[in-house]
Amino acid sequence: MTLQSENQRTKRCSDAPAAYRYQVNAWRTADGAGLAKCELAPNALHFAAPPEFGGLQGRWTPETLLMGAIAGCFTTTFQIIAEHSSLAYTDLEVEVEGVVAKVESGYELTELRIRPLLVVAEAKDHDRALELLWKVQTLCLVSRALSVEQRFEPRVETKEMTPVG
């Protein structure tokens, strides 16, 4: 990272407002189809209740959208932390699994499993990469907003890059 880009990043962070607002509007028709839109994205998102609750097949559900929000938040937070820490990595996949169970008061999200798999190019980066995954787990805004029990199961693999030619 150049000094100029580091200065631009510092300036952006120091000029940032103390709070941000995000808004999504959702509509639902009588046939069970839902649509969500936000100003930041040009495409609407189609959703429905899960099929096991009488919803439509082939649609995102509020539950899968929440899992996607956690995975997306984790990967974007990791990218920022890795860049700031000068950690080179080749791939990051995050699997998020939520368990919905019937409890006395109704159905509830009872457990989350967050399973990041990070691939680094050099074995010497393994421990530092694992440390950064744990750091991101404490910083991810979406998962921090949830009070449900979370199981964090990070893995780091090394894929040595072979020169071409």
The predicted model scores a pTM of 0.83
What is the chain's mean pLDDT, rounded? 89
Provide the 3-class DSSP secondary structure of residue 87. Answer: coil
Class of domain 62-165: alpha beta
Tokens of 162: 């072979």
**Tokens found for residue 84:** 């700031």
- The phi-psi region of residue 27 (left if phi > 0; otherwise alpha if psi is between -120 and 50; otherwise beta) is beta
| Section 70-74 average pLDDT | 98
Vertex 99: Cα angle to 97 and 104 (nearest 5):
165
Rounded to 5, what percent of the chain is helix, strand, coil?
35, 35, 30
Cα–Cα dist 46/60, whole Å: 7
The answer to whether the CB of 66 falls within 8 A of the CB of 37 is no
With bands split at pLDDT 50, 70 and 90, how would you rate the model's confidence at 2? very low
| pLDDT, tens only, 39-54 | 999 899 999 999 999 9
Domain definitions of the chain by residue range: 1-60, 62-165
Residue 146 phi, psi (nearest 5): -105, 140
Q: What is the pLDDT of residues 111-152, one digit of tens each?
A: 999 999 999 999 999 999 999 999 999 999 999 999 999 999
Strand boundaries in 83-162, DSSP class E? 89-103, 106-120, 149-152, 155-158
CA dist 13 and 21 (Å) reads 16
- Please give the average per-residue pLDDT across 148-164, as a whole number: 84
